[in-house]
Amino acid sequence: MTIQLDERVTGAALMRFLRERGVADSCPMCGTHMSTSVHDPAGVLEDEAPAVRVIHVMDDGSRRGYGEFLRVCPSCGFIHYIRDIEVLAYLDEEGDNG
């Protein structure tokens, strides 16, 4: 597994994608507010920090074909994986329309 960062996929962009798709911001297990995983070591970028993208690499070096962004529940630990293909297509379309 490798971690990649794509500067155009920020925490805010990921949340915008999920809101447009009608995905709730609360954990489906316990109802707590979900936290988007972003790379912000200094803690200053907040929602503008790049979202963490997980890429699964097989033993032979090939990839599974897609990566995932994720949100984590800080209360119960539930992990919500969001396939990157849909998020990237949404951002491409958003860029074409804006």
Contacts of 3 by beta carbon, 8 Å cutoff, 6+ apart: 52, 53, 54, 55
Q: What is the pLDDT of residues 19-77, one digit of tens each?
A: 999 999 999 999 999 998 888 888 888 889 999 888 887 778 777 677 899 999 999 99
Output the pTM of the full model.
0.81
Question: What confidence score (pLDDT) does residue 7 get?
Answer: 81
pLDDT at 14 over 90: yes
- Its domain, for residue 58, covers 2-97
Contacts of 15 by beta carbon, 8 Å cutoff, 6+ apart: 25, 36, 47
| DSSP three-state, residue 58 | coil
Number of structural domains, the chain?
A: 1
